[in-house]
Amino acid sequence: MRFRTLVALTGAMALSLAGCANGDSTGSSSNTVTYWLWDANQLPAYEACAKDFKKQNPGLNVKITQMGWDDYWTKLTASFIAGTEPDVFTDHIVKFGQFADLKVLEPLDELPSTKGIKDADYQPGLAANWIGQDGHRYGSPKDWDTVALFYNKKMTEQAGVDAKTLNGLDWNPKDGGTFEKTIAHLTIDKNGKRGDERGFDKNNVKVYGLATNGGGDGDGQTQWSNFAASAGWTYTNQKRWGDHYNYDSKTFQSVMKWYFGLAKKGYMVPFTDWNSQSNQANTQVAAGKAATAFDGAWMISSYDAFKGMDIGTALTPTGPTGKRATMMNGLADSITKNAPNKEGAEKWVAYLASDECQTTVGKFGIVFPATPGGTDAAVAAYKKKGIDVTAFTRPVDEKKTFTTFSYPITDYAADVLALMKPAMQDIFGNDAPVSGLDETNSQINSLLSQ
């Protein structure tokens, strides 16, 4: 049975789309395009694009609204129900499938200004991810990110661990390889004993070798995804729109047992110390509580801004497959089905997708835009700031030694999250057996079979 909240949302949206008039609380008019995004750091970059867009489209303005992640999706969903949706919004890969299914997105390939969007104009795989099961495109690529290992240089130097070592780590689910050995060595208890020394007290740790971003729900983007993928595991039976999840895989469960076992050994920050709002991995590093953290490219500027700290980045470790792995996620811009200013919206999205706008965004050095030109501009901007981003760009450039993969793109994404979030937290926080994922996976696959 699908979760009641999702059924209610579907019904409410259906009623709204069938019987409600378009609201105007978003401020849309014939000369204004409303655009929503959630990242405050990117706001100045898109304001610059809006200014250039206005010059090229006299009389047409862009009104940008920025809000925090949680408020963003709550208000967006409410706007669909109330008929007050924006013309254009920043979309996430785990959301668009449900939105497309509910018919609240406009197929971009059917609009004059956006039908020319081509996969080849963007970094590999980004554009193709936004093709729905009906064959229509529902998002134009705007940026991309990968995951790398951030580390406190002072702590690694004191431990005698150099950048070459960190970039040459390997791992396996049996003994953790050189990755686990290094994380153990970077861990220090309250008596000054390191994790690989006799007498180490795992119950009284002062500095953990590895920070945590929680249980990882069903994707593990900045937690366990790079380990699972480099062990040869995939989320589903198909690259996109699979109908069978693989959380019951013995490979996956062995990786989870090892990964969460790092906390049991005292090498990784425990689940009880993590908070999704106030104590994420970056906060743990900033507080000196952890020496390293897996995190995404969108966090580069945040880590660089830590006062009194010199932060470096290293590649994800090589796994049993002989390859390194990282999720490569990409956001996109979508047009709402009932956009009050559809004509202006498609022009704005076409401009957002252009190399001109993406190069402008890249020059701010906040995110990697989806076009190669935009990416090059971002790399140059980061270099000007003195930030080395090769740990994030190499996976895109070196396909022979890296595996890049997307978020799982399937139906019932909200339901998968609702099932996997407590399951993974139970394994991490309560030491529940990983074999319990067999039942969770069965429930998920039952949903997909409907």
Q: pTM for this structure?
A: 0.92
Mean pLDDT per block of 10 residues along the chain (450 residues) reads: 35 38 48 96 97 96 95 96 96 93 95 94 95 96 98 98 98 98 98 98 98 98 98 97 97 98 98 94 98 97 95 98 97 97 97 97 97 97 97 95 96 95 98 98 96
Q: Cα dist. 10→15, 77, 419 in Å?
A: 9, 10, 19
CA distance 136 to 417: 25
Residue with tokens 């069965």: 442
Query: In this structure, which amino acid lies at residue 433?
Result: P
- pLDDT at position 21 is 35
Tokens at 172, concatenated: 């396996």
CA distance 328 to 262: 25
> Rounded to the nearest 5 degrees, what angle is found at the Cα of 409, between the Cα atoms of 405 and 410?
145
- pLDDT at position 339 is 96
Query: In this structure, which amino acid lies at residue 128?
Result: A
Provide the b/e sequence for 423-444 (b: ≥16 CB within 10 Å).
Answer: bbbbbbbeebebeebeebbeeb
CA distance 345 to 114: 10
Antiparallel, parallel or unpaired: β 88-91 and 32-37: parallel
CA distance 112 to 100: 20
Smallest Cα–Cα separation from 248: which of 39, 40, 22, 436? 436
Q: Are 84 and 55 contacting, i.e. CB atoms less than 8 angstroms apart?
A: no
Tokens at 51, concatenated: 């200014």
Smallest Cα–Cα separation from 369: which of 331, 313, 323, 315? 331
Antiparallel, parallel or unpaired: β 324-327 and 205-210: unpaired
- pLDDT at position 260 is 98
DSSP 107-122: -GGGSTTTTT--GGGS
Q: Are 85 and 25 contacting, i.e. CB atoms less than 8 angstroms apart?
A: no
CA distance 78 to 13: 9
- pLDDT at position 30 is 77
